[in-house]
Amino acid sequence: MSYGYDRETGTFYFRLAVTTGSEKGELDDRQATFVTYDQPEDRWQSVVAEGKLEPTSKESIALETLEGLGNVELQYVDIFDQPIESVPFEFYRLVPDRIGARRELRTSR
């Protein structure tokens, strides 16, 4: 899975591989919780976003989705035993109903 975040709209975009035998199940309009974290400047921080996944496809992509995808940089990672061009992908977006964040604070000892 690759993802990106559009700060202008508060929308997460996902690129998911869909392979034969995939155990992801039906994702359209599914409740989802997405968690990501990082450690800039030696302090942990995380974001938790909750909402429904919305499929995006060539047939149903709205203008704002195309603009949103243009605002994010999806990372492309090759983990398959086949050429990446032959792996089918689906795109989804998550407009969070709820979003939270945590950051590690420095304490003096």
What confidence tens digit (pLDDT) does each residue in 30-59 have?
Answer: 899 999 888 888 888 999 999 999 887 644
pTM: 0.68
Contacts of 99 (CB under 8 A, 6+ apart): 10, 47, 48, 49, 50
**What are the sequence ranges of the domains in the chain?**
2-103
Q: How many CB atoms lie within 10 A of CB 8?
A: 10
Task: Give the pLDDT mean for 11-22.
Answer: 77
The CATH number that domain 2-103 falls under is: 2.30.110.10
Q: Is the pLDDT of residue 77 over 70?
A: no
Confidence band of 80 (pLDDT split at 50, 70, 90): low
What single-letter DSSP state applies at residue 105? P
